[in-house]
Amino acid sequence: MTNTWVVVGLSLGAGFGFAVSTNLKHASAADLPALPRLSVRNISRFLAVMTLHRLWLLGVVADVAGLVMQIFALHLGALAIVQPLLVSGLLFSVLLRQLKTPNPRRTDLVWSGVLVASLAGFLLVVGSGSGVNPSQAADHLPAALAALVGATVAVGAVWLARRHGPAAISATLIGAAVGLLYAADAALLKGVTNEAVRGVGDLLRGWQLYTVIVVGGLGLFLSQLAYQAGPLTASQPTIAAVDPLASVAIGVLIFDEHLRRGPWAGAALPVLIVLLVLSVLKLGRRPAPT
């Protein structure tokens, strides 16, 4: 039980770190060069300006703090618990945005409560009395396939986004790609933590560490494109909804994590998922400051 509360605390702390990072990076997106075409020259110029921007660098610091807490949470707990808890980052982001908007809407507070309640209910439902071995190593082939599928779908989503005119649609599509990449990267990251326990040599010789870096880097790049493509209210809710749902599927299929069974759990889980997604979408509709 103590271990569970440690995992919850670390996951919420990671969510707050990612929320701070999101707001800082979104603020920096307005100063970055546009990408009319995804050419090597345009991408190089974009990356050069992005990596030197003060707000983006501060966002990376917040990302690192959140990532460290996420790593420990993934090592101690199940992927199907840690990633849904990271949705709390949207709640923290809403609260941070309200610091710039002195007249918060009452509906924001209501949907924030729904988000917290659905997360708490989700944890109760996915919890298992038999327990899941937190150090359960992933089968390497399915883990690699999950990352490959996530990257492929992400590329397809970005391609579709570049063909659609409306900013909100583009931001939503790229946000979905980012959510898939974050879920795949979390699965790989869990494997990396298990390799690290065996020794630094095994970690450096394995492929997981380097795949995590590549997939994570691609996620960071696409997240910045999503923030630039349209309003934060379009991209962030999509990321927050896709990431945990994909993570639950990966946790069950790859890490053999078990959801609680029974008629009560079977009826409650779909309702909680609907409430989770709905609260994310409702909170995300709050206009973000530009």
Q: Positive or negative CA dihedral for 189, 249, 7, 235?
A: positive
Question: Which has more pLDDT, 149 or 9?
Answer: 9
Q: Residue 127 — pLDDT band, cuts 50, 70, 90? A: low
Q: In the predicted model, is pLDDT for residue 199 greater than 90?
A: no
Mean predicted lDDT score pLDDT of the chain? 75
pLDDT at 17 (0 to 100): 93
Overall average pLDDT of the 138-142 stretch = 55
What's the average model confidence in pLDDT over 258-270?
70
Domain residue extents for the chain: 2-284
pLDDT exceeds 50 at position 128: no
Q: Is the pLDDT of residue 285 over 70?
A: no
- Tell me, what DSSP letter sits at residue 87? T
- The residue with tokens 């883990």 is 143
Spatial contact of 62 and 20, defined as CB atoms under 8 Å apart: yes
Name the token pair of 122: 């989700």
If you average pLDDT over each of 48-52, 125-129, 248-252, which comes out highest? 48-52
pLDDT range class, residue 131, cuts 50, 70, 90: very low
What's the pLDDT score for residue 46?
A: 82
Local structure of 200: helix, strand or coil: helix
Contacts of 235 (CB under 8 A, 6+ apart): 171, 172, 174, 175, 178, 223, 226, 227, 229
Looking at per-residue pLDDT, the higher value among 289 and 232 belongs to: 232
- The SS3 call for residue 128 is coil
Contact yes or no for 195/203 (Cβ under 8 A): yes
CA 167 from chain center: how many Å?
21
In 3D space, the residue among 155, 228, 203, 151 whose CA is nearest the CA of residue 182 turns out to be 151
What is the Cα–Cα distance from 167 to 161, expressed in whole angstroms? 9
Residues 71-89, mean pLDDT to the nearest whole number: 80
Helical H segments across 77-166, by residue range: 79-85, 88-98, 106-126, 140-163
184 or 232: which carries more pLDDT confidence? Answer: 184
Q: Which residue has the tokens 């974050």?
A: 182
278 closest CA partner among 131, 140, 148, 90: 90
Q: pTM value?
A: 0.69
Cα(10)–Cα(264) distance, rounded to whole angstroms?
Answer: 29
**pLDDT exceeds 90 at position 213:** no
Phi, psi of 224 (to 5 degrees): -70, -35
Task: Give pLDDT tens digits for 175-198.
Answer: 888 888 888 887 777 777 766 666
The pLDDT value given to residue 99: 73
Taking the C-alpha atoms of residue 28 and residue 83, their distance in angstroms, rounded to an integer, is 26
- Full DSSP string of 24-37: HHHHHHTTSPP-SS
* Residues 167, 172, 173: CA angle, nearest 5 degrees: 100
- Distance (Å, rounded) from C-alpha 32 to C-alpha 237? 22
Query: Which pLDDT score, from 0 to 100, does residue 134 have?
Result: 45
If pLDDT is split at 50, 70 and 90, which confidence band does 79 have? confident
Which range has the top average pLDDT, 15-24, 102-111, 263-272, 279-288?
15-24
